[in-house]
Amino acid sequence: MMLAFEIGCADIPPEYVCDVAQAYIRGEVDRDNHRFAPTVPEFVKRCRNGMAFDKIKQSAPATVLQFPKSKFRQQWDAGKIPQADAKAREQIAKMIGDENAG
């Protein structure tokens, strides 16, 4: 069994293996059954997840993509599309039965 763990964790830095092992020992890992040791694939997966999480934390923050505004939005912002008037709002409110319509 130990050989299987050694083979599974061969390419994982020791600090990740120790951190995950301590988390299991302290009962910090959500599992269905804490009576048995984790399987090798379960343990290795948790080590790799820790490595991936640290890699993401160290990477540059993602940039927000800026898409051009649609023609409708450009016209709306320029005031070329009239907004609903008060009378139209009243009619809509009566139709749907809501005084906050519009």
Residue 100 predicted with pLDDT over 90? no
Query: Residue 11 has what DSSP assignment?
Result: T
Contact assessment for residue 82 and residue 47, using Cβ atoms and an 8 Å cutoff:
no
pLDDT of residue 46: 93
pLDDT of residue 83: 67
pLDDT of residue 14: 94
pLDDT of residue 80: 76
DSSP 15-81: HHHHHHHHHHHTT-S--S-SSSPPPHHHHHHHHHHHHHHHHHHHSPPPPPP-PPPPHHHHHHHTT-S
pLDDT of residue 29: 87
**What would the pLDDT profile of 22-65 be if each residue is shown by its tens digit?**
999 998 888 877 778 899 999 999 999 999 988 888 887 777 77
The predicted model gives 55-77 an average pLDDT of 77
What pTM does this model have?
Answer: 0.54
